[in-house]
Amino acid sequence: MTPTETRIGLRISGEVKAFQRVPLGVEGLDEIIGGGIPAGDILLVSGMPGSGRTTLAFQFLYYGCTKYGDPGIFVAVDEKPDSVRSRMSHFGWNVASLERKGALIFADAYARVAKVPSIEEREVAVDDVVAFLTDLFAYVEEIAAHRVVIDSVSTLLAIWGSNEGERRSAASQLCASLRETGLTTLMTAEALPGRISRFGIEEYVADDVIVLHSVKSADGLSTRRMMEIVKLKGYAHPLTMVPYRIEHGRGIVVVPPRAAREELLRERIERIRRRIRGF
Ligand SMILES: Nc1ncnc2c1ncn2[C@@H]1O[C@H](COP(=O)(O)OP(=O)(O)OP(=O)(O)O)[C@@H](O)[C@H]1O
Ligand SMILES: [Mg+2]
């Protein structure tokens, strides 16, 4: 692909090679999906509250910088950048050092969403899609970003449209402009019971979709975190759910299918033992 210019004026140099993969930086997951998602794609990561969406999104940028040399932008929509910074630093990730180098930056859309003053160097307007992208693309140019996170797109769609038609049109415009740039984007979405996303639009406009589930055990006494790869456009991928954990120092870690089966077996043996012992 040759350098392109979008409708609202972003010009990014460099080439996006067809079939090039962008690793997500999630242990166990990149192996399952053949090395990563296709370069230039828009990946939607959806899940219920506390499922790990922000962690996975941040990890995509953090390891993008530290392992693959890709500068990235985290657009904080649902919470203050400072709150994301401190939570991610608690994982043991050196967020401050990447920010100092200008390899990873936070853009504050939350202030405009919540109508509160921002303490951040970089703000993003949320009035409409064009205003949002104009600010975002200025930051993309500033650090020559390759990766972008929008956390979450569901909140933006709620602002950009008061009915399904308006929201769909805004979502399509957002994704079309992002695709033109060649950036690889991860957007998060809010899932609702029995639905992948809040508006039922987010998963259709994205190229790739991963859903983070919380699955109750048969006895209802415990839950397991399970990841579902719903769509990976143009590529084969497993249709089964894969277990994942959220760990200090590593973030989201996908348990390889064989290890997962062994873990399940150990849990079953333990449950039977407890039943036999009577507690
Ligand atoms: N330092 C940590 N080590 C291990 N697990 C953690 C750590 N910090 C948070 N977690 C786990 O991560 C989960 C929250 O992750 P995250 O904020 O990424 O989820 P989310 O889906 O974005 O949630 P929200 O609904 O708040 O947007 C918590 O439920 C907690 O179990
Ligand atoms: Mg979150």
- What domains lie within the chain, and their CATH numbers? 4-277 (3.40.50.300)
Mutate to test the pocket of ligand 1, among 26, 48, 54 (most ligand atoms within 8 A of CB): 54
Residue 96: pLDDT over 80? yes
Nearest CA to ligand 1 atom 26: 50
Is-contact 62 46, C-beta < 8 A? no
Range of weakest confidence among 8-17, 164-173, 187-196: 8-17
25/56 Cα distance (integer angstroms) = 9
Coil vs helix vs strand at 257: helix
Give the pocket of ligand 1 (CB within 6 Å): 47, 49-55, 90-91, 246-248
Do β-strands 72-76 and 104-108 pair in parallel, antiparallel, or remain unpaired? parallel
Ligand 2 (single-atom ion) residues, CB below 5 Å? 53-54
pLDDT in the model for residue 217: 78
Residue 13: pLDDT over 60? no
Alpha-carbon Rg for the chain, nearest whole angstrom, is 19
Q: Ligand 1 centroid to 165 CA: how many Å?
A: 33
Give the pTM.
0.88
3-state helix, strand and coil shares in percent for the chain, rounded to the nearest 5: 40, 25, 35
Identify the helix (H) or strand (E) that includes residue 151. Answer: strand 147-151
Mutate to test the pocket of ligand 1, among 246, 247, 250 (most ligand atoms within 8 A of CB): 246
Per-residue confidence at 4, pLDDT binned at 50, 70, 90? very low
152 preceded by a cis bond (ω within 30 of 0): yes
Q: Which of 115, 137, 138, 140 is nearest to 126 (CA)?
A: 115
Q: Ligand 2 centroid to 54 CA: how many Å?
A: 4
Residue 7: pLDDT over 50? no
Q: Ligand 1 centroid to 88 CA: how many Å?
A: 9
Nearest CA to ligand 1 atom 16: 52
Q: Ligand 2 centroid to 137 CA: how many Å?
A: 23
Which stretches of 164-242 are DSSP H helices? 164-181, 202-205
